[in-house]
Structure 1
Amino acid sequence: MSQETAGLRPRPSREGSAGTGVGTAFGTFGELLQGVLPEEDGDFLVTLPVARWTMATYRHDPRSREVQVHPAGKTKALQLARTIGKLAARKTGAATGGTLHVNSVIPEGKGLASSSADLVATARAVGQALRVEMPPSRIERLLAEIEPTDGVLYPAIVAFHHRSVRLRDVLGTLPVMAVVGIDEGGSVDTVDFNRLPKPFTLADRHEYARLLDRLSCAVRRRDLAEVGRVATRSAQMNQLLRHKWSLEPMREICREVGGLGVAVAHSGTTLGILLDTRDPSYTQRVSEAARACGELAGGVTVYRTLSFANRLARNGPTACVEA
C-alpha cells in the first residue's frame, strides 16, 4: 500500500533568535517539462513543487571566522555559507563564522531538487543570520557559481534556465495534485548529467517551444488534463537522453486508473502518475495506482503538489489558443 508523504512545511520563527537564521525551501517531483529551446541558453525546465522540505539553520559565532556544516557531507551548502560570510565580512569587517545545520526529507540523487533546496534554504538562513539581503536575483547569482539549479526559490510553477540559473517566467499555480511515484533505483549526479551533450534536433527544440507555450497556457487556465499531456510528452522525449524502463508501463497504469499523465525526473530516477485530488473518484484512483505501481516497481510514495495563493505570471497572460 502507498504511504502518503508527511513532508509538512517547517514553521520557523520569522526572525530567528539573535545571531541565528532559519531558511526553508521545497523540493520538486522532477519537472513538468524539461528540454532545450531553439534560442541561445535554451536549456530550461518547468518546476513541479511538492510538499517535501529542507530546513537550514545558521548559528552565527562572532568569535569565529570558520564555518562548520552538519551533516558533514553537505559540502555545497558549506561552500555557499562561506561565500555569503565573505560578503557580510566585506561590509562589517566582523567575523562571520558559525555552524550550519541542514535537515531535509528530500531524497538525494533522485531528481527531486534536493541539492537546490539545500542551497536555497542555506542562502536564506545564512543571509538572515548575517543580515545580508537575499532576494532571488542574488541567490541565483550565488548558486550559478556552484552548480545547475532548479527554480525552487520561487513560490510558483516557473520556467527556469537551470544551467545558467536564471528565471525565464513565472507561470502561476495549479490546484493540488497527487503524484503516485516510483523509483527505478540508483542515483544521478546533476552536475555530471548537465555536462552531457543533448541529442535534440532543431525540430525537437521547436517542439519544446510549443510544449512550453501549451504548458504556460494550461497553468494559467488551470487545465490539469493539458498539464498531464505535456508532462507525458516531455517524459517521452527525454527517453533519448535518460531512458527509463518503466515509462511505458507507467503510462499504461495511468490510462487504466484515469490519471492525468506521467511526470518524470528528467535528470533523475523517479516517475509518477499525476492525479487530480478534487476528482470524486480520487480515493479509488490513487489506491488503484499505488497498487499497480507497487506491483511494477516495489516501493511507492504518494506526493502532494504545492498550490500557491495570489501568484500571477510575471509577464502577464499570453494569448492562449483553446485546444
Structure 2
Amino acid sequence: NIPVGRGMGSSTADVLASILAVLDCLGIEAASDEIMQIAVRAETACDSTLFKQQAVLFAQRDGIVLESFLRPLPSIDLVSVDTAPEATVDTLEFEPARYDWREIETFRPLRGLLRLAIRKADLRLLGRVATASARINERFLPKPRLNDIETIAARFDAIGLQVAHSGTVVGLMFDPRDEKTPENIDRAVSELGLLDFQPTIFCH
C-alpha cells in the first residue's frame, strides 16, 4: 500500500519482498549486504528499507552501508505533503544527483551532526540536518512551493523539513515530546490547506 512515485520506497519494497520470498522458498540465508547488492542490480538503486532497527547512512546506488549509527532514529511526528500529486517520479529514469564540490563539502559536517543528533536523540539538531539536505536536493529535484512550506514549518515550530530525494513528498517534522506539538500540527495543517495541499499526519 505504499504510494508509487512519491519517494517513499515503493520500488525497493517490491524488489526486497521478491528477493526475500525467493530466498525463503529456496531455504537460502543471505546477509543484508548481499540482499542489497541484488536489489541494486535489479533496479539500479535501492534505499535502506531492509534496516528496520537502526539508522544507517546508505549509498543507494552502490547498495552499501557507509555508516551504521547502532540505534534507531528518535520518534518524530510528521505532517506529510505531496507537493505534486498529479506527477510521479520514475526512479528507473530519474537522473541521479551529481553533487559539486561545494555540496560534497557541505555534507561532511552534516554527517557529523547527524551522528551526534542520533546519539543524543537531539530532535532539533536532526531537523537542522534534514532541512539542510532538503535544500541541497532542490537543485536536482525541486519541490513546488517548498519555500512556502518551510515558512509554515518555521511559523509553527517544526524542528525541520525532510524531502523525498527521488519523489514528490515533503514532511514537516515535529517533536512529539513538546506539549504544544498537537496544536502546532493542527495549525500547520490548516495553513497548508490554504495553499491547496492535502496534508497527512503521522504521529509516532
User: Does the TM-score normalized on the shorter chain lie above 0.5?
Assistant: yes
Unaligned residue ranges in structure 2 (runs of 5+): none
Q: Which residue of 2 aligns with 1:192?
A: 93
Q: Which residue of 2 aligns with 1:284?
A: 183
The answer on whether the counterparts of 2:89 and 2:167 sit within 8 Å (CA) in structure 1 is yes
Q: 2:89 & 2:39 partners in 1: Cα distance? A: 19
Q: Which residue of 1 aligns with 2:33?
A: 137
Does residue 243 (structure 1) correspond to residue 139 (structure 2)? The answer is no
Give the 3-state SS of the residue equivalent to 1:203 in structure 2. Answer: helix
Q: 2:35 & 2:196 partners in 1: Cα distance? A: 37
Shift of 1:196: 4.4
List, as ranges, runs of 4+ consecutive aligned residues in structure 1 with deviation greater than 3 Å.
none
Q: 2:39 & 2:196 partners in 1: Cα distance? A: 35
- Structure showing the higher strand proportion among its residues: 1
Q: Which residue of 2 aligns with 1:310?
A: none
The answer on whether the counterparts of 2:57 and 2:68 sit within 8 Å (CA) in structure 1 is yes
Q: Which residue of 2 aligns with 1:151?
A: 48
Give the 3-state SS of the residue equivalent to 2:58 in structure 1. Answer: strand
Unaligned residue ranges in structure 1 (runs of 5+): 1-104, 306-323
Q: What is the number of equivalent residue pairs in this alignment?
A: 199
- Structure showing the higher helix proportion among its residues: 2
Structure number with bigger Rg: 1
Name the TM-score, length of structure 1 as normaliser. Answer: 0.59
Residues 285/197 of structure 1: CA separation in 2 closer, same or farther (3 Å cut): closer
Q: 1:249 & 1:235 partners in 2: Cα distance? A: 14
Deviation per CA, 1:87-118: give whole Å up to 9, x if none.
xxxxxxxxxxxxxxxxxx21010000111112
Q: Which residue of 2 aligns with 1:121?
A: 17
Give the 3-state SS of the residue equivalent to 2:92 in structure 1. Answer: helix
Does residue 161 (structure 1) correspond to residue 29 (structure 2)? The answer is no
Residues 179/142 of structure 1: CA separation in 2 closer, same or farther (3 Å cut): same
Q: 2:24 & 2:96 partners in 1: Cα distance? A: 36
Q: Which residue of 1 aligns with 2:76?
A: 177
Question: Which residue type is aligned with residue 195 of structure 2?
Answer: L
Give the 3-state SS of the residue equivalent to 2:124 in structure 1. Answer: helix
Residues 126/303 of structure 1: CA separation in 2 closer, same or farther (3 Å cut): farther
Matches within 5 A, 1:217-236: 217-236=116-135
Shift of 1:249: 0.8
Q: Which residue of 2 aligns with 1:32?
A: none
What is the Cα-based RMSD across aligned positions, in Å?
1.5
Question: Which residue type is aligned with residue 189 of structure 1?
Answer: D
Name the TM-score, length of structure 2 as normaliser. Answer: 0.91
Q: Which residue of 2 aligns with 1:94?
A: none
The answer on whether the counterparts of 2:83 and 2:197 sit within 8 Å (CA) in structure 1 is no
Residues 297/209 of structure 1: CA separation in 2 closer, same or farther (3 Å cut): farther
Does residue 301 (structure 1) correspond to residue 196 (structure 2)? The answer is no
